[in-house]
Amino acid sequence: MTMQKLLCLSILTLSVCYVAICSDKALLLSYALESDTKTEYLTLEDAVEIAMNNNPLIKSKIHNMGSYEGRVKQAGLLPNPAIEFLTQETPTNNIGLDQSQNSIALFQKLETGGKRKLRVKAAEKEKKVVEMDLQTTIADITAQVKTSFFNVLTTQEELKFAEETLEIAKSLMSISGQRFEIGDIARIDVLKAEIELSNAKMMVQNTERKYLNSTKMLQTVMGVSDIDVNKLFPISTADTPSLNLDDLNNLLLNNHPALKARKRVVDLSVIKITEAKRMAIPDINATIGYKRLSASDVNTVQAGIEFPLPIFNRNQGKIIEARALSHMAKDDVEVVRNQLLLQLSNAFSLYTSTREQVRFFTYSIIPQSEESLKIARQGYKQGEFDYLEVLDAQRTLANTRISYLKILNKLFSSITEIEKFVGVKISDIK
């Protein structure tokens, strides 16, 4: 009886010390986060900003924008004039310029029908399409950074849970060894504890490898291979708002760069139709020159214009092609629109379900599983429960934590997808 009282008193003392240590640790962590967040932790916003400046795909798209600046400039340039020097009717017995007919002429192509203006307008529209393509790439890379950032966070938690499971397995192994020495349990229970300890060690090793892969992925997407991503600022799921699908659809239709790009392609196709029609209007080739008749000592001026007759080729084929491409561009708008709305609907459905599941795990399932294991361990130590009950409680907690992290990762993924589609953070959606 005295021994049981001493044991209870020891457990009570350890519990009080544990609560005090945890409280102090929580206060210290809170103070550290508030005092030096930027220098100690990499935030999600920092990771996105680094990717915007260093991701090679974004750099490539930005450099590609420069080529379209050149296209706009080139489209507005006038055709170069041509100059001709000509000597005719030179006597073979008196080669020289004093007996020949010598001329100099200037040729200039004059574009009609506003072709140059349309060409500039088309080039500017193409540039705007490429700008939207750049914005689409930025949105995709931002989503990849967020997904990789979330993966590192959840893998960190998974590694922490695996290490806690290992410590629990070591504790149960120690207790099993002590109870076996006093003859309280059979050898088979010790072997089970050894097996669980080995499984816990392998779980830690696998999770460490998974964590390393997730950090490498984040570094790759950010475009910086030597940055430290081991200290990421945690992201809370407590303030995930309730969303309305109709509001999200309206934001997508107004903000998504891929949809804007398709609409600008439609505008470009209309310009291309007009341009194809104007190409049927013949351009004028103007000539002006000076001619010297050396033999008769006469100076003359020459002038003329030349233009083709649009009898057979009136650019009919290009007009038909431009109209067909315009119809296709309009259809592509609907295709992209429907695809984006479907993807947004799937992300919204996943967000709605996982949001509630994460809360259920956080406030109900995980605390109950932890309490169950705590009771089982105390009962096993005091000889009230056998090892199978402890093992069952331990596995239940481990599986619960793994399930929680999977659902949490799905929630983060759905948040990333929604923000990519609507172009704003979910916390800013009203």
Say how far apart CA 287 and CA 86 lie, in whole Å: 14
Say how far apart CA 405 and CA 158 lie, in whole Å: 7
What percent of the chain is helix, strand and coil (3-state, nearest 5)? 70, 10, 20
Same domain for 21 and 48?
no
Q: Are 398 and 373 in contact (CB under 8 A)?
A: no
Predicted pLDDT at 289:
92
Closest CA to 174 of 193, 191, 187: 193
Predicted pLDDT at 90:
66
pTM of the model: 0.78
Indicate if the pLDDT at residue 36 is higher than 50: no
Q: What is the mean pLDDT of residues 329-353?
A: 96
Q: Are 280 and 314 in contact (CB under 8 A)?
A: yes
- Mark which of 314, 334, 369 sits at the end of a domain: 314
Q: Which percentage of the chain shows pLDDT scores above 70?
A: 87
Same domain for 20 and 135?
no
Say how far apart CA 319 and CA 414 lie, in whole Å: 45
Say how far apart CA 116 and CA 268 lie, in whole Å: 15
Predicted pLDDT at 18:
35
Same domain for 160 and 57?
yes
Q: Residue 179 is which amino acid?
A: R
Same domain for 258 and 365?
yes
| 417 backbone dihedrals φ, ψ, rounded to 5° | -65, -45
Q: How many domains are there within the chain?
A: 3
Predicted pLDDT at 342:
97
Predicted pLDDT at 165:
85
Say how far apart CA 38 and CA 233 lie, in whole Å: 9
- Give me 382's structure tokens: 């005091």
Same domain for 190 and 265?
yes
Indicate if the pLDDT at residue 4 is higher than 60: no
- Give me 133's structure tokens: 């393509």
Q: Which residues contact 278 (CB under 8 A, 6 or more apart)?
A: 113, 114, 115, 118
pLDDT in tens, 42-100: 999 999 999 999 999 999 999 999 899 999 999 999 999 999 988 776 666 666 666 67
| 3-state SS, residue 242 | coil
Same domain for 130 and 199?
yes
| 3-state SS, residue 227 | coil
Same domain for 248 and 338?
yes
Residue scoring higher pLDDT (292 or 170)? 170
| 3-state SS, residue 101 | strand
| CATH number, position 388 | 1.20.1600.10
pLDDT in tens, 403-421: 999 999 999 999 999 999 9
| 3-state SS, residue 105 | strand
Q: What is the mean pLDDT of residues 195-207?
A: 92
Residue scoring higher pLDDT (381 or 302)? 302
- Give me 33's structure tokens: 């986060």
Q: Are 187 and 398 in contact (CB under 8 A)?
A: no
Distance of CA 8 to the CA centre of its chain: 56
Closest CA to 387 of 223, 206, 168, 164: 168
List the domain range (segments joined by +) for residue 129: 36-77+111-280+315-428
Predicted pLDDT at 83:
95
Same domain for 289 and 328?
no
Closest CA to 72 of 125, 149, 18, 4: 125
Q: What is the mean pLDDT of residues 253-260?
A: 95
Say how far apart CA 369 and CA 375 lie, in whole Å: 10
Same domain for 224 and 352?
yes
DSSP sequence for 301-320: EEEEEE----SS-SSHHHHH
Distance of CA 405 to the CA centre of its chain: 22
Measured CA distances, 294 to 84, 95, 98, 120 (Å): 18, 12, 5, 47
pLDDT band of residue 238 (cuts 50, 70, 90) is low
Q: Are 189 and 180 in contact (CB under 8 A)?
A: yes
Same domain for 333 and 399?
yes
Q: Are 142 and 45 in contact (CB under 8 A)?
A: no
Say how far apart CA 118 and CA 284 lie, in whole Å: 18
- Give me 145's structure tokens: 């950074």
Handedness of CA 72, 75, 78, 82 (dihedral sign): positive
Q: What is the mean pLDDT of residues 222-246?
A: 87
Same domain for 224 and 331?
yes
- Give me 402's structure tokens: 């793994």
Predicted pLDDT at 97:
61
- Give me 61's structure tokens: 């798209």
Say how far apart CA 190 and CA 177 lie, in whole Å: 6
Indicate if the pLDDT at residue 3 is higher than 50: no
- Mark which of 272, 294, 314 sits at the end of a domain: 314
Same domain for 91 and 180?
no
